[in-house]
Every structure is written in structure tokens, then in C-alpha cells.
Amino acid sequence: MSLVVEDKKMRNIRRYWDGQYCLKNQRKLNYEVPDSKNKRLKIIPVIVLALFLGILMYMNLNYFLFILNVI
């Protein structure tokens, strides 16, 4: 006998990850689990900003090297 008592939400999450989740309850669980989608949407602006800053730094480095070659 387990010493940890599961509530209904935790039992459904455990059954979902174990592959035992029934289809009639899946709609409720899918409503509560979109955290991974939120994390994915939050990282997209970070990636775009990093690419933009990388391109900007690359352009500035080339411009700086061009000025050094001219001098």
C-alpha cells in the first residue's frame, strides 16, 4: 500500500503519462497541461532577438575590420 495519497488531478496525470488515460477524460487533462506550449512561445522572441543581435554584431565587426584595413 502506498503511503502517498493521490488526488484526482495527480492520478489523471500519472495515468496519462503511463498510457492508461481514457479518452473521455482526456479533454479535461489537455485543458490543464499547455505549460510546454507556453514555454515554447516564450522562447521564440528570445531566439529572434539573439539572431538579430548576432547579425548586428557581425555587421559591426565587418565594418570595424573594413575601417582598419582602410587606415
Take residue 14 and report the three cell numbers written for it.
500519472
Mind listing the pLDDT tens digit for each residue in 2-59? 556 667 777 777 777 766 555 555 555 455 555 566 666 778 888 999 998 888 888 8
Can you list the alpha helix ranges (DSSP code H) found in the chain?
8-17, 23-32, 35-70
Q: Is the pLDDT of residue 1 over 50?
A: no
Identify the residue with better confidence: 66 or 23: 66
Indicate the domain borders of the chain: 1-33, 35-71
Q: Is the pLDDT of residue 71 over 70?
A: no
Rounded to two decimals, the pTM is 0.39
Residue listed under C-alpha cell 484526482: 8
Helix (DSSP H) and strand (DSSP E) numbers for the chain: 3, 0
